[in-house]
Structure 1
Amino acid sequence: MNIHRLISLASILGFAFLANVPLGYLREESKKFSLRWFVLIHISIPFIILLRISGGFDWKIIPLTLGCAIAGQLLGGFLKRRSAR
């Protein structure tokens, strides 16, 4: 894998993580399983897919992008709970 491809992958993973931090923060104050809660969890996914496809990556990086998105959601939720103290 060349350096440009690695930078592209790192950018996609960074976006997946960083986009989900504020979404996780907002999700934390939503009623569980409500429409808002569902949207806040899934709204970044089409953008991540678009970046993955436009970057020329196949389905094999989906677990990495999903893991970064979940980590961002969890961090955002943690930050919201911590600020509520």
Structure 2
Amino acid sequence: MFGSIKDQLTQELADIETAGLYKRERVITSAQDAEITLEDGSTVLNFCSNNYLGLSSHPRVVEAAKKAIDTHGFGMSSVRFICGTQDI
């Protein structure tokens, strides 16, 4: 059963790629600043980031994030309306 579905899905993906609609993800190997480095070593201007003020790599923000990881761990275990809202 999986074979026929797999063949159909493989063909659909091939059709999407042929139509130029298949999106390949870029792997960014640098901080998300105005200019970023991609996996192949090329650098490009980053017009799609929410980091337009450059705060995500500001030393004070990075230090605050490190302290928060030490006290609160990394990430939420669930959405806040189920588990509650954290104090940070």
TM tier, smaller:
under 0.3
- TM-score, normalization: structure 1? 0.25
- TM-score, normalization: structure 2? 0.24
Asked which structure has the greater CA Rg, the reply is 2
Higher relative contact order (CA 8 A, sep 6+): 1
Instruction: Write 1 or 2 for the structure with the bigger share of strand.
Output: 2
